[in-house]
């Protein structure tokens, strides 16, 4: 998903959770893809949002597109490998909006390799972006959050199931699942809920028309016979942040069309 897709998609998003209106969310990695889908759904619910992204032009384009649709959005560009940038995000959110109700740790380095070909620098980079930054941001967010606030981590089916190639991405997403449970245990007494959403196959960079044959072919390996869309993940995040999920914490919600439940793909018996 790109900013150019918002004008067509945004009006179709439902508005379900009135309690989210005017609340403040910080969503990392939200200038495109799944993060932009999350930001769009939260904006549709009336939340005030800070979005981050690696490329300043993408952040500006996404922010402008969301504001054109009536959203109250502030964009911040920076690299989560930069600890100074990570340390600044909660403060910037407070400076902009004065409070923080929802943190969505979405930004991720998704590169994967076989063990024999794994570049050493990928290990350090993915650990910093996919695990360390969510932990630091969560600790900083929790320090200023009130009861009934939420943290939602965007994990992956790769955090609970192996894939080939899968390193070091799957390792870091498994760590994110563990972080979700540990933070939920730690912050529960303060009324702060911590959950994760694990998307399935999300072919965000494909052209639906040019790649139609490929999309149909791969969809046959998913129980629901279709890919996961950014707005599907956004719907799960909005639910977990809402009062309807007020007794849900420490959970990983799989939004994967049934992919992770399968012992083998449809029509491919072992």
Structural domains of the chain ordered from first start: 3-205+228-261 (3.40.50.720)
Residue 248, pLDDT score? 98
Give the pLDDT confidence score for residue 23 in this predicted structure: 98
Buried residues in 133-167 as b, exposed as e (16+ CB within 10 A):
bbbbbbebbbeebeeebbbbbbbbbbbebeeeebb
Catalytic center residues: 169
pLDDT score, position 266: 84
Task: Detail the DSSP E strand segments found in 78-127.
Answer: 102-105, 112-113
The pLDDT of residue 269 is: 79
- Cβ neighbourhood burial of 18 (10 Å; 0-12, 13-18, 19+): exposed
DSSP states of 235-257: HHHHHHHSGGGTT--S-EEEEST
Cβ 237 vs Cβ 15: under 8 Å: no
Predicted pLDDT at 209: 73
Q: For 135-181, what is each residue's pLDDT tens digit?
A: 999 999 999 999 999 999 999 999 999 999 999 999 999 999 999 99
Model pTM?
0.96
Q: What's residue 267's pLDDT?
A: 77
Return the percent helix, strand and coil in the chain, to nearest 5.
50, 15, 35
Q: Which two tokens stand for residue 242?
A: 């809402």
The angle subtended at Cα 177 by Cα 151 and Cα 264, nearest 5°, is: 130
List the chain residues with pLDDT less than 70. 210
């Amino acid at each position: 998903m790109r900013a150019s897709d918002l004008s067509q998609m945004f009006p179709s998003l439902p508005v379900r959770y009135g309690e989210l209106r005017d609340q403040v969310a910080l969503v990392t990695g939200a200038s495109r893809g799944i993060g932009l889908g999350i930001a769009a759904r939260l904006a549709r619910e009336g939340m005030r949002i800070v979005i981050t992204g690696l490329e300043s032009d993408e952040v500006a384009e996404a922010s402008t597109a969301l504001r054109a649709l009536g959203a109250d959005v502030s964009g911040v560009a920076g690299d989560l490998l930069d600890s100074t940038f990570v340390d600044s995000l909660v403060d910037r959110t407070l400076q902009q909006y004065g409070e923080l109700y929802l943190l969505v740790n979405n930004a991720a380095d998704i590169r994967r390799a076989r063990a024999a070909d794994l570049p050493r620098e990928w290990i350090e980079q993915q650990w910093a972006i996919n695990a360390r930054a969510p932990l630091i941001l969560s600790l900083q967010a929790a320090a200023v959050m009130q009861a009934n606030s939420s943290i939602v981590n965007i994990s992956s089916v790769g955090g609970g199931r192996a894939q080939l190639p899968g390193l070091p991405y799957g390792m870091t997403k498994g760590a994110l699942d563990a972080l979700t449970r540990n933070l939920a245990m730690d912050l529960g007494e303060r009324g702060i809920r911590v959950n994760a959403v694990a998307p399935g196959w999300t072919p965000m960079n494909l052209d639906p028309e040019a790649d139609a044959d490929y999309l149909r072919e791969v969809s046959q390996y998913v129980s629901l016979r279709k890919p996961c869309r950014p707005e599907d993940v956004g719907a799960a995040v909005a639910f977990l942040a809402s009062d309807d999920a007020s007794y849900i914490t420490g959970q990983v919600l799989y939004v994967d069309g049934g992919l992770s439940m399968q012992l083998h793909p449809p029509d491919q018996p072992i």
